[in-house]
Amino acid sequence: MDYVTLGRSGLKVSRISLGAMNFGHSAYIATCDEQHARQIIDRFLDTGHNVIDTADVYSDGESEQIVGRALRGRRDQVVLATKAFAPQGESPNARGLSRAHLIPALEASLGRLDTDYVDIYYCHQWDPGTPIEETMATLDGFVRSGKVRYLGCSNFTAAQIVESQWAAERIGGTPFTVLQAQYSMVARTIEAEVLPACRRHGLGVTAWSPLGGGVLAGRYRDANPAPESRWGKIRDAGPAMVQRLVTDTLSDRNLRIADEVGRIATELGTTSVAVALAWIAGRSDITSSLIGPRTIEQLEENLVEIELPAELTERLDALSAPTNGPVNGLFSSAA
């Protein structure tokens, strides 16, 4: 197993991380029940991979509960990550990155995960309503208490990363070690400013949605997904904002990139999934790719490792080069 160091730390993580967002039940579609989630977790850990990522908002806490039960007796084998920001009640203080919210949010997550610490605690998104010094001081307290070992941020801009690291330095606190950000061949906008900020300030990077919402896996051949497909169900059940998300994800540009990924997969005798994940694995700024399988078959497909020849990487680089506008519309503020 190929382990790498996470950012400016001594923590060793696998190049593939298991995302638990699909464990439990979604507001729009059924995802992965506990029995199948346990199979996925068991197989993932058996292959030597060691990072499992969840959040308090996933399936209203059910994801954390499933993960916690699955890790009983082997907690020390896992780099366990969770996140906070999303509303956890009706109170105006039951959300965001304030001290008032983060302290009970962490305690609740620890309870659902059935553990006394998490390895990585993420701020799920930026909170414009809370001074960053308050957030970083609260997080530093978690580290000093032993309840959190490393700190991370998710979906922060370059400026927000810099502000956070400066704030940690000003208060003599713990800085962020890792950023979780959307990144794939159809979503490369972080290359312009965010990745340079991570290099400068010592953050590793975990890429979420490395398959572009399934587009790069070759599951969608046109911009009108079948009603029984994942994006078809989301499109038909979701509000107008979610329907626009489907349209942006299945744009003509993204489908062209997916077609090229499929052609290269055929040339190499492998799958589109393997090609898409190998492309990310070859990016020097990316520490780990966050996969989110809903079935054991999808997990096995995600774990196939290949090495892309330089000339094929160059073909994909050229076709997927970022444009002046947004690369796609998956999620701009939360994952």
- Cα 21 to Cα 18: distance, rounded to the nearest angstrom: 9
Active-site residue, selected from the candidate residues 58, 121, 150, 183: 58
CB 187 within 8 A of CB 160: no
CB 261 within 8 A of CB 273: no
| Residue 211: HSE in the Cβ half-sphere, 13 Å Cα cutoff | 25
- Cα 333 to Cα 43: distance, rounded to the nearest angstrom: 31
DSSP H/E element including 45: helix 34-46
Say whether 58 is catalytic: yes
Q: Which alpha helices (H) appear in 50-206, and where do they start and end?
A: 62-70, 99-113, 132-145, 158-170, 194-201
Beta strands in the chain (DSSP E): 3-5, 12-14, 16-19, 24-25, 30-32, 51-53, 79-84, 118-123, 148-154, 178-182, 204-208, 288-291
Percent of residues in the chain assigned helix, strand, coil, to nearest 5: 45, 15, 40
Structure tokens that stand for 16 in this block: 């593939």
- Cα 263 to Cα 255: distance, rounded to the nearest angstrom: 12
Within 10 angstroms of residue 307's Cβ, the number of other Cβ atoms is 11
Within 10 angstroms of residue 35's Cβ, the number of other Cβ atoms is 8
List, in sequence order, every residue forming a beta bridge with 5; answer none if it has no partner: 12
Q: Which residues are catalytic?
A: 58
